[in-house]
Each structure stands twice: as C-alpha cells, then as structure tokens.
Amino acid sequence: MPVATQDDAIRVSTNGEPLRIARIADLPRPLRSAIDRAECPLLDSILAQTPAFVFQPSPAHRVMAVVPCNALITYSLAFVFERTTEAEPRLVMFPVLAPSGGFTAADTPGLITWNAAAKTLTAIVENDYCGVRETRHTYRHGDGSLNGFTLVKLEHRKQMCESEAPWELLWEAQPWPRLE
C-alpha cells in the first residue's frame, strides 16, 4: 500500500479506494496545515487505531481527506482539495440532525468512515455515557450537491454499556416527485 510523506504529491485511486495514513509524520504538508488551522488535536496513537484517509470518490470529483481528532469522544473532520492536492484543503460542512428538529450544518458530524464500494460516508456521533442516544448519518456521493455528498439516512440507537443496540431508522431521503 502506498504511503504519503510530507514531500510527496498525494496520489490516490480514482475509484474511491482510500490511501490510509497512520502516522502524523506521513501527513502531506497541505493537509497538516489545514488540520492545524481547524484545531483538530491529532495523536499518533489515535491515527494508529483510526487512520486518516485520503480518497477521490470518483474520477469527476475532487480529492478529499478525513482525519480523526482526539477528544473525550474521537470525531472526524473532512477536507476537500479544491484545485490541487498541493494547496491547503478546505473544511467540509455536512447536514446533520438539529437538536430542536429539522437539519443544520456542522463540520463535525461524528466519527466518519468511507465505503468505497457503496460510495457512502457514515458519521457516528458516539457517547461515553450508558443509556444515551447515539446518531448515525449516512451520506451518498454522486448527485452533484455542494460537497459531492447528500444526506440520505439518519438512524439512532440507545448506547448500551454491555452490548450494542440495533440502529433504528429515524429518517430516510425519498426520491423527489416528478414535476409534470
């Protein structure tokens, strides 16, 4: 598996397969600069367990990076490289569940994973307390939306200390009715 170094140009597959980065020293400079600007606490111990990853969702889409940030509950930030991977990427905002109802936008949707085959990002908002609700947002790539991803599903579950409760569907996007 190729490994990026600070001086290497970022090279990723155009089919969505991610380049995984498990050490701070291997982060390309532009990405490291964006991480620092976003004040994402980064530790090698976190990267060893949850590597950062750089991927290009499709040949027509820009290269993205997802980085785990250290906190009481680890979360991720996503970045998109606008024109070139040699320039600092910008932070990506995602639609998320608003506590008072409806949706809002956030740059910290939870701990993010990428499924290259399904072309989906999944963000889980975890909690360290027993008996509290956790949420999972699923974003699908490929419809031409602002950042290339659209919120398509929202699920929740009660965090159990001894076992994991099943996810329950809270909301799922439906195709828009055809205007005729």
In this structure, how many other beta carbons lie within 10 angstroms of the beta carbon of residue 78?
24
Whether residue 61 lies inside any domain: the answer is yes
Whether residue 14 lies inside any domain: the answer is no
Alpha-helical runs (H) found in the chain: 29-37, 44-49
Residues 6+ apart with CB under 8 A from 133: 127, 156, 157, 158, 159
Whether residue 13 lies inside any domain: the answer is no
d(CA 92, CA 104): 14
Segment 111-135, tens digit of pLDDT: 999 999 999 999 999 888 888 889 9
Whether residue 105 lies inside any domain: the answer is yes
Q: How confident is the model at residue 144 (pLDDT cuts 50, 70, 90)?
A: low
DSSP reduced 3-state for 87: coil
Confidence (pLDDT) at 71:
93
Whether residue 94 lies inside any domain: the answer is yes
Confidence (pLDDT) at 2:
43
Q: Which domain holds residue 72?
A: 19-172
Whether residue 5 lies inside any domain: the answer is no
Segment 37-86, tens digit of pLDDT: 999 999 999 999 999 999 999 888 899 999 999 999 999 999 999 888 89
Distances (CA, A) of 122 to 72, 96, 132, 145: 20, 12, 20, 17
Number of domains in the chain: 1
Whether residue 139 lies inside any domain: the answer is yes
Whether residue 25 lies inside any domain: the answer is yes
Q: Which two tokens stand for residue 37?
A: 């600007």
